[in-house]
Amino acid sequence: MKTLKARDHRALGAALASILSALAPGRGRPRVRNIIATCALAAAGMAGATWSLPAAAGSLYWACGSGSWDTTTVCWSATPGGSATSFAPVSGDDAYLTETDATNRTVTYNDNYTAPGLNSLTIDATGTGTMTLQQSANTLAALNEYIGY
């Protein structure tokens, strides 16, 4: 993967400035040929560059019995009811503390999510057991919270 270098930023910035200049109010019709030529030159100058986007937010499901929610404990799964194969959710993720069986679970929160934090936190128990979130310190921030939905 090619890293975007300062010269690439300048070339892209110059191309965008030229496009915006061509589209500026009061200049009559946009100079379409110049816009196309500028884009083509910018694309040619950055041919072979691979652009990496940030990873999309994920959904993680609590997969242990009772345990500690922190950065070092592998108690999360990418699928509901799946095996514990992942570390704790990161900011922007959806975290699910759900229970569908007869097991009573207590999750002790020891992580730290400052605003905006998680995208969502869902706590629900649809089985005969209980799902308890216990927190004695740190910050737990989520844009959306769903409890017993």
pLDDT in the model for residue 4: 42
Does 105 share its domain with 64?
A: yes
Does 127 share its domain with 81?
A: yes
Residues in the chain with pLDDT < 50? Answer: 1-9, 16, 20, 27-44, 46, 49-55
Does 75 share its domain with 143?
A: yes
Are 62 and 89 in contact by the 8 Å Cβ rule? The answer is no
pLDDT in the model for residue 115: 76
Q: Which residues contact 48 (CB under 8 A, 6 or more apart)?
A: 2
pLDDT in the model for residue 112: 84
- CA 131 – CA 104 distance, rounded (Å): 6
pLDDT in the model for residue 104: 95
Identify whether 53 is part of a domain. no
Measured CA to CA in angstroms, residue 79 lies from 20, 54, 98, 139 at distances of 45, 21, 12, 26
pLDDT in the model for residue 134: 95
Q: What is the pLDDT of residues 28-64, one digit of tens each?
A: 444 444 444 444 444 445 455 443 334 457 999 999 9
- CA 62 – CA 77 distance, rounded (Å): 6
Does 72 share its domain with 95?
A: yes
Q: What is the DSSP string of 77-88?
A: ESSTT----B--
What range defines the domain where residue 64 resides?
59-147
The domain tally of the chain equals: 2
- CA 68 – CA 14 distance, rounded (Å): 51
Does 82 share its domain with 127?
A: yes
Token readout for 45 is 């100058």
Parallel/antiparallel/unpaired status of strands 59-62 and 76-77: antiparallel
Parallel/antiparallel/unpaired status of strands 131-135 and 76-77: unpaired
